[in-house]
Amino acid sequence: MAHRSRIGCPRVLAALIVTAAASIVASPAPAQPAGPTTVLPVGALLSITGGGSSLGNTSRAALEVAAARWNQRLASTETRVTLDIVDTGQDPARAVTGFQALAARGVRIIIGPQSSSEVAAIQPLANAQGILVVSQGSTASSLAMPDDNVFRFVPNDHVEGRATVDLLARQGVRTLVPLWRDDRGNQGLADSVRAAATADGIQVTPGFRYEPDTTDYTPALQAVAAQVAAATQQVGAGHVGVYLAGFEEVADVLAAARTQPGLASVRWYGGDGSAQATQLVDNRAAAGFAVAAQGFPSPLVALPAASARANAALIRQISRRAHATPDAFALSAYDAFNVAVQTLRHAGPNPTGPALRAAFASTAAGYPGVTGTIRLDEFGDRASDPYAYWSICRVGRARPRWLRTGTWTPNSSDPTGPGQVVGGTCPR
């Protein structure tokens, strides 16, 4: 994305300091009992501004609600919870600076960061300093490492790649043209989609990779249009798809795609980084193109129906605070906070890094979260989950909006093997 600044800039440092200073004891402080108080500090590295702000702000609201509920629960005890949020702007350098600031303030468990590039930047620091990092958005399979201090409460890109390919195969795609943002997470998604599609006998063209600071998408779209035209001649437009993996800048990509002939005549598919992003439906040109390109279905981890019903009041509370509906990634941040607090309560004062990691893994195993029962694999990542397909649809004369149009259920014996697809297209 194009919203990056150098950490050396005084304005960025000032903004970071202000954000840290405004970090939250995330509830009105309850009346404290007499005697010493035990403070359980939890940090968060979130993209509140710039790239990734959709997930960053819903995650912030989820964490603030979680902290407030804990402090209400602990009001009659000598323990309180604090939440310390630093805005990273989805910049790896700012994530490193924020990590160091939180570590200096004694934080041992950090929720976030959201992107795989940020997680990769702070992973060595987390391992060296015995601090746990629990991401609610990083999916790069290249970061799946045993016994490190990074946990991820979402499945990695191999699972999402399979969910994507199962849908496009069901819809008859025989040639796929990929277009992706050059960062750790979206590169991983593009690689996983390519691998799964190739294994299924779908031809994948070279595609095009654009830089995060791109503002003019004409060269990228011209390259994609040329590959789409060649594929259309071979297999027909009805059997050609474009896979686009990026973040909120995808709105600008889709809007610009209108100018390239032939691109709206084939199906387009998205990744989790732009699924349900308001920028795509607020941009009339982008939304109109998505509707013409069969809805731009994009997979997101699905919230179990029973859990959604049981936690409806909580989800409404987070939605009111965020002024947006939290997706499963944001609700994974809520679950991560609850596991973090329980870990800190039971780990004892000043646990070693390995002891803290073991306590967190034990607490997380089988935890009945809002996002369903948490099961981690040997790398500390969520093993697998069902996915929902979200598409930009126009129903009647209403403006295009995101609708849940289908589901993907993973293979019970192999999470990265072919699963079951139901639906996936906009209603007519």
pLDDT in tens, 246-262: 999 999 999 999 999 99
Q: Go through the chain and tell me how many residues it has.
A: 428
pLDDT at 386 over 50: yes
- With cut-offs at 50, 70 and 90, classify the pLDDT of residue 6: very low
Residue 32 pLDDT: 47
Nearest residue to 111 (alpha-carbon basis) of 59, 187, 181, 37: 59
Cα(145)–Cα(156) distance, rounded to whole angstroms? 12
What pLDDT digit, counting tens, does each position of 163-219 carry? 999 999 999 999 999 999 999 999 999 999 999 999 999 999 999 999 999 999 999
Structure tokens at 40: 């359980």
Compute the distance between CA of residue 266 and CA of residue 312 in angstroms, rounded to an integer. Answer: 38
pTM (2 d.p.):
0.85
Strands (DSSP E) found in 183-321? 203-204, 208-210, 240-245, 267-270, 298-301
Domain boundaries defined on the chain:
10-155+307-373, 158-302+386-423
Would the CATH topology of 10-155+307-373 be identical to that of 158-302+386-423? yes
- Residues 426, 390: contact at Cβ < 8 Å? no
CA angle 414-419-420, nearest 5°? 150
Amino acid present at 180: W
CB 365 within 8 A of CB 342: no
Q: What is the pLDDT of residues 250-300, one digit of tens each?
A: 999 999 999 999 999 999 999 999 999 999 999 999 999 999 999 999 999
Contacts 24+ apart (CB under 8 A), 122-125: 122/45, 122/92, 122/95, 122/96, 123/148, 123/149, 123/150, 125/96, 125/99, 125/100
End-to-end CA distance of the chain: 34
Domain 10-155+307-373 fold: Rossmann fold (3.40.50)
List the CATH code of the domain at 158-302+386-423. 3.40.50.2300
Helix or strand run (H / E) with residue 39: strand 38-46
